[in-house]
Structure 1
Amino acid sequence: MKTIAKTLAFTILAGGLVGCNGVNESQDRNDNDVRPIGYYTNEGDNRGDLDRGSGFISDMADRDTKDHTSTYHEDYDGALAERIANKVNDIRGVDDAHVILEDNNVIVGVDTKENKKEELTKKVRETAAKMAPDRDVKVVSDQEIVDRIENVDNDLRDGRAYTEVETDVRGIMGDIVDAGSNLGNAIKRPFENNR
């Protein structure tokens, strides 16, 4: 029985070594049988940058618009929206602002920890009205609506056409109009328009 066990062990070892010959092709650096294939272009992605180091999964997960150049769709006046947002961000008490242009309206979502929201809202409205005198300015500081405005603004900054987010914008406008001056009641359907 010991002889059979030794023979079996020797056969298994010998069989394992049969695959090992003198040349290990997996470590041969000059073997050009398989070449890595990459698809590169001189054009940037839809945001205008050449961020080849991250990959598309990182790009999809990255919603921070401050690390890349905004590329609005050609049918949307993104330059005006961005100028208004930058000017509003310079107002003391505003932590972050996002702007959406909708027909003759300017919707400004203001993220703030300021206690005097009415005074801040008035300053923001005046600042935006100077930059877009022919449009009606709506200023919102309710966090849930501001988050919805930010999501739409980020989609627009990433090059999506306005028609793709129009339903969301109309829902936001409807909530603002329905709420009137009491924006605390504006969240009647927070997820209906943001899918």
Structure 2
Amino acid sequence: MKVLIKTLSVTILAGGLAACNGVNESQDKYDNDTRPIGYYSNEGDNRGDLDRGAGFISDMADRDVRDHASTYHEDYDGKLAERIAKQVNDIRGVDDAHVILEDNNVIVGVDTDESKKDQLTDKVRKITAHMAPNREVQVVADQNMFNRIENVDDDLRDGRAFTEVESDVRGISNDIVRAGNNLGDAIKRPFENNR
């Protein structure tokens, strides 16, 4: 019985291997019948992406502007915004900072520890006022407002014109003015003015 099982097993294995020995179309490694599936765009834009071609979903989801050079729109003073952000980011205790320039205003969003907010906002205001002497400086250290400022700054860094984000900037600015020292009021309506 054992000999019969061994003989049968060897015959099945040999038959299986012999059937796989022939060259057919599925084994031709140079066959190029498959078509790429997906949507890729070679549409030029002024964002300065160095990783284009990964696909449109990747490009849409890629909000990290630090992996490519910032390309502000030609009508926006991106150099000043970057200089202010760099100076503010160099302050000890500041985790991250984003800057928006609007007419004669500078809006600085600062991400920092809760206990250091008051102390750092005064320091940020002084440094920013020194760098932009003819502009009114608004410094915000509230996390929700910081996120809104960061989103607008990212859009501007991606080369969008200021007119495209102007309603968002006006909404942020109005919420800061209305809230005064109580930013909790501004957080209750984060997108009310952004229509």
Q: Distance in 2 between matches of 1:77 and 1:27?
A: 59
CA contact (8 A) 1:44 1:50 kept: no
- String of CA shifts for 1:81-123, please: whole Å, max 9, x gaps: 1111111000111111010001100000001114132221110
Matched, 1:76 2:76: yes
Aligned to 2:17: none
- String of CA shifts for 1:5-64, please: whole Å, max 9, x gaps: xxxxxxxxxxxxxxxxx76334434456777699797x9753313314633212211211
Aligned to 1:183: 183
Q: Distance in 2 between matches of 1:178 and 1:100?
A: 18
How do residues 51-90 of structure 1 correspond to structure 2 at under 5 angstroms? 51-52=51-52, 54-90=54-90
Instruction: Provide the secondary structure at the position in 1 that maps to 2:115.
Output: coil
Identity score, percent: 78
Q: Distance in 1 between matches of 2:147 and 2:41?
A: 35
CA contact (8 A) 1:49 1:69 kept: yes
CA contact (8 A) 2:97 2:109 kept: yes
The 3 A distance-change label for structure 1 pair 47 and 137 is: same
Q: Distance in 2 between matches of 1:153 and 1:174?
A: 17
Instruction: Provide the secondary structure at the position in 2 that maps to 1:107.
Output: strand
The 3 A distance-change label for structure 1 pair 66 and 112 is: same
Q: Distance in 2 between matches of 1:161 and 1:182?
A: 31
Aligned to 1:115: 115
Aligned to 2:13: none
Root mean square deviation, CA, Å = 2.8
2:177 partner letter: V
Instruction: Provide the secondary structure at the position in 1 that maps to 2:109.
Output: strand
Q: How many residues align?
A: 174
Instruction: Provide the secondary structure at the position in 2 that maps to 1:123.
Output: helix
- String of CA shifts for 1:128-154, please: whole Å, max 9, x gaps: 111111111000011111111111111
Deviates more, 1:138-147 or 1:110-119: 110-119
Q: Distance in 2 between matches of 1:51 and 1:67?
A: 9
TM-score (normalizing by structure 2)? 0.77
Instruction: Provide the secondary structure at the position in 2 that maps to 1:144.
Output: helix
Instruction: Provide the secondary structure at the position in 2 that maps to 1:116.
Output: helix
1:58 partner letter: S
CA contact (8 A) 1:148 1:194 kept: no
1:128 partner letter: T
Q: Distance in 2 between matches of 1:116 and 1:150?
A: 20
Q: Distance in 1 between matches of 2:61 and 2:92?
A: 31
TM-score (normalizing by structure 1)? 0.77
Q: Distance in 2 between matches of 1:178 and 1:109?
A: 17
Deviates more, 1:117-126 or 1:23-32: 23-32
2:167 partner letter: T
CA contact (8 A) 2:40 2:56 kept: no
Aligned to 1:152: 152
* Long gaps (5+) in structure 2: 1-21
Aligned to 1:133: 133
CA contact (8 A) 2:41 2:53 kept: no
Q: Distance in 2 between matches of 1:57 and 1:98?
A: 26
